[in-house]
Chains A and B, each alone.
Chain A
């Protein structure tokens, strides 16, 4: 078990920030994370930076070094692009860099700027996470791809749009106290069901908003933390990464997401835990059905059983397994490249008590999980976070 320490987190609010560039947003998040960790830029060994469509939205490639500069360093850096799993993968690779002994201190994070592209531009941009030849050229949008999966799930296991609406209502409700959230707006099941359709069976409230924002983490080796007497009470004790085919039609089933399952298995094994040990989860609910896929693939529910979890109250704040206490992508927002790192930051701050929704976490809770998915889960990362007893 690698026990990489999470020493600091930082993020901008997620939302529409027409006046902020990518480098400005990532500088805010990254510098905040360094301050939170108590680490000078001079001690950073590497930057792992997630970003999806910056080359399109800001006409800026090679963003790794640019973002390192923004943090006050010229250390080696790389931009990691894996669609919506870009910064989950940045965290994963950072954990590996420290675990292997290659680095002592790394910044892992991500940024996305999307609202400047407009709805049509962003829809077009997001569709690039699907297979261009087989899917985009056949009219598949990103919501459309998840809608295809939702219909297949309903067909195999049952479930209704109303079940999905309960997930949206729950996540909106969780975001109400989160000032970093894009949407702080209470919604009802009826409102979710009556919202304009975007891709049947999804209405507007089944989809996450298009957001701008950045998130960053400072990770370090236990040795560095001890030598510098730093408070780093949360460890990333397991990190997994799974893959699948890009096009949905090449998968044997559309109602399960094996990439998350694969990532979870690796992460759980590394951390020596099983799904029953997990007290809270932040999962990739880019569309309401995605939360269902995630919970089943993470082993929290058997296949076909997570669809009613929010409706039954099990994944609500006062339920047995609170899911997406931050508001999730659904309400917190989804600046694609920043999402995975923001999820890890949310789990860490929920566990250490500094998140505005931390009161919903049981006092004896020590383990949380963050699951980040790319495209229609052709990529997935799972991170296990644990409070360290020292």
Chain B
């Protein structure tokens, strides 16, 4: 994929993989993930880059047993939405038994290849 098609998302994943995750905040403090040129909540275009907190908290999760073809070899796997305070991320949870994944559990965000393709996926691992 070229930078033109993902509009800054690749750069975001690079940073996240390096432990330098970031997000954007509009003037009204709505947290957003790249790529964005405007805040969908208020229309503001003044987006400032902020440091992504190192750990976040699982808001909700599911174990996917019937995957899309891109995740064929991964299933069953756990997908979760994780709250990092001002912004939330969606990704795959690894390093925890599926039965032990719980709401409010603290995790860190990184980037790892999917097991089926080499596509990079946001990955959550239990916070130490």
Contact = CB atoms under 8 A, between A and B. Distances in A.
A186 interface: no
B92 interface: yes
A196 to B, nearest CB: 7
Nearest to B79: A139
A261 B93 CA distance: 32
A291 B124 CA distance: 31
A245 B42 CA distance: 12
A250 B88 contact: yes
B61 A151 contact: yes
Contacts of B122: 137-138
B90 A247 contact: yes
Given A200-B62, A250-B32, A254-B60, A135 B90 contact: yes
A61 B35 CA distance: 29
Contact of A199 (B40, B63, B91): B63
Nearest to A123: B68
Contacts of B32: 250
Contact of A138 (B40, B65, B76, B79): B79
A149 B60 contact: yes
A254 B81 contact: yes
A138 to B, nearest CB: 4
A155 interface: yes
A197 B92 CA distance: 18
B103 A144 contact: no
Contacts of A197: 63, 65, 76
A5 to B, nearest CB: 37
B68 A127 contact: yes
Interface size class of B (residues with CB under 8 A): 35 or more
Contacts of A200: 62-63, 65, 98
Given A133-B9, A137-B119, A138-B121, A249 B68 contact: no
A345 B92 CA distance: 41
A225 to B, nearest CB: 42
B4 interface: no
B64 A151 contact: no
A147 B89 CA distance: 16
A139 B9 contact: no
Nearest to B34: A133
A261 to B, nearest CB: 16
A139 B71 contact: yes
B90 A248 contact: yes
A116 B42 CA distance: 42
B33 interface: yes
B74 interface: yes
A374 B96 CA distance: 33
Given A139-B121, A152-B60, A133 B65 contact: no
A249 B6 contact: no
Contacts of A245: 40
Contacts of B92: 138-139
A135 B90 CA distance: 6
Given A143-B66, A250-B88, A148 B79 contact: yes
A250 B30 CA distance: 9
Contact of A133 (B6, B79, B88, B91): B6
Interface string A184-202: 0000000000001111111
A200 B89 CA distance: 19
B79 A134 contact: no
Contacts of B91: 138-139
B68 A199 contact: no
A141 B66 contact: yes
A278 interface: no
A263 B53 CA distance: 37
Nearest to A120: B69
B85 interface: no
A140 B79 CA distance: 7
B121 A124 contact: no
For the complex of A and B, the 4 pairs showing the least CB-CB separation, nearest first, are A147-B62, A249-B88, A152-B60, A200-B63
Interface of B: 6, 9, 32-33, 35, 40, 59-71, 74, 76-77, 79-81, 88-92, 98, 103, 114, 119, 121-122
6 contacts: A120-B69, A139-B92, A198-B64, A199-B62, A199-B66, A245-B40
Given A199-B65, A248-B90, 18 more contacts: A123-B69, A127-B68, A134-B90, A135-B90, A136-B70, A137-B121, A139-B68, A139-B121, A141-B67, A141-B68, A151-B60, A200-B98, A202-B62, A245-B40, A249-B90, A250-B32, A250-B88, A254-B81
